[in-house]
Amino acid sequence: MKKTMFLSFLIFCLSAVFTLSAFAKTELTYADFFPPTHKQSQLAASWCAEVEKRTNGEVVIKYFPAGSLAKGPQIYDGVISGIADIGLTVLSYTAGRFPVATAIDLPMGYKNGTQATRVANAVLNKFQPKEFDDTQIMYLHAHGPGLLHTVSKKVVTLDDMKGLKIRGTGTSGSIISALGGSPVGKPMNETYELLQKGVVDGALYPVESNKGWKLGEVTKYMMENYSTAYSLAFGVMMNKSKWKALSPEIQNIINTINAEWVVKTGQGWDDIDKEGLDFFKEKGGEIVPQSPEESEKWQKAIAPIFDEYIKSVSAKGIDGKAVVDFIKANL
């Protein structure tokens, strides 16, 4: 009798364990700095929903946009420390930390966000940078071409750039200097006021910002300087311990979703660039084409930026020329 009762109890316990395990789920947090209304924030939220859907609820992700869990510059370290399990941030927020990925931001002459995003992930897959070893990178993406916008002076030639004060930081600031302008290193959220009050003569930024940041309201000219167009790389990463705790099956599901979101995010940047262009035109903005001859002059002017990058990363044991050449060959 006792033996029968023991076996029944054992079976009950095992059944309970299996039942509980069937309903067990992993809950993760996702930190982002984009406001919830931004296209890329919406895509990040839909990535979370897709992970939950395809894992049949085994992985549930709580999404925190607008820096509500961690501010943009703190997100990468926040993922490492576990403040957030997953994060989306601009890689250049931590200058010098990602020497290989920095090459993506250079003025390669990007034509659209799809191209820039494809190139960013090609660099990731080709070089597998050790700089990302403290997290598990999900995927990278990059915005559309950063072009010159001015308030009152129409820039047609390289000489027109001389003496102009142009808002730009990091890579865009280097481009401004190389083209003969004076970079003003202020945050993006101050750009509208800087342009409106005439503190700067213009700014370098992706076309989507004309609507997203309303900059199309305070600029009049947009130069099609595609030969010197830059892009900024964004990274989506997961805490390494949290990634390793997931089953291989779940990891495969997430990697499949990541590959799909590379395409979606690239197209997302292109969609909002179109919206930004339409907004700019609606506000009376004028598009200034660039002749092939002038385009070549601008491209020659920024050549030292590439030389400086190659020199700076060589000190870290990185073949910067190989990275630059790879990107140019894959545009």
- State the amino acid at position 25 in one-letter form: K
Give pLDDT, residue 1.
52
Is residue 2 pLDDT above 70, yes or no?
no
Average pLDDT, the chain: 93
- Whether the predicted pLDDT of 19 surpasses 50: no
pLDDT at position 22 is 43
Query: Is the pLDDT at 165 greater than 80, yes or no?
Result: yes
Place of tokens 């920095």: 102
- pLDDT at 4 (0 to 100): 55
Q: For a pLDDT cut of 70, what percent of the chain falls above it?
A: 93
Mean pLDDT of 78-100: 95
**Residue 114 structure tokens:** 């799809």
Cα separation of 30 and 17, whole Å?
A: 30
- Predicted local confidence at residue 95, as pLDDT: 81
294-326 in b/e burial notation, b at 16+ Cβ within 10 A?
Answer: bbeebeebbeebbeebbeebeeeebebbebbeb
Q: Is the pLDDT of residue 5 over 60?
A: no
What end-to-end distance do the CA atoms of the chain give, in Å?
Answer: 77
CATH number of 146-230+282-329: 3.40.190.170
User: Are the C-beta atoms of 213 and 188 separated by less than 8 Å?
Assistant: yes
* Residue 101 near residue 130, CB atoms below 8 Å: no
- 146-150, strands of its sheet edge to edge: 182-184, 165-167, 202-206, 146-150, 221-223, 286-288
For residue 21, is pLDDT > 80?
no
Mean pLDDT for the stretch of residues 86-111 = 95
For the cut 60, the answer to whether the pLDDT of residue 139 exceeds it is yes
**How confident is residue 20, by pLDDT bands cut at 50, 70 and 90?**
very low
pLDDT digits (tens, 9 = 90+) for 290-309: 999 999 999 999 999 999 99
Predicted confidence band of residue 280 (pLDDT cuts 50, 70, 90)? very high
Neighbours of 188 (CB within 10 A): 14
Q: Where in the chain is the domain with CATH 3.40.190.170?
A: 26-142+232-274, 146-230+282-329
Q: How confident is the model at residue 207 (pLDDT cuts 50, 70, 90)?
A: very high
User: Is it the case that residue 12 has pLDDT exceeding 90?
Assistant: no
Amino acid at 144: G
The one-letter amino acid at 182: S
Report whether 243 contacts 251 (CB < 8 A): yes
Domain at 26-142+232-274, CATH homologous superfamily: Bacterial extracellular solute-binding protein, family 7 (3.40.190.170)
pLDDT of residue 86: 98
Burial class (CB in 10 A: 0-12, 13-18, 19+), 82: exposed
Q: What is the rounded CA–CA span in Å between residue 71 and residue 79?
A: 12
pLDDT tens figures, 41-69? 999 999 999 999 999 999 999 999 999 99
pLDDT band at 18 (very low <50, low <70, confident <90, very high): very low
Q: Do 47 and 261 touch, CB atoms closer than 8 A?
A: yes
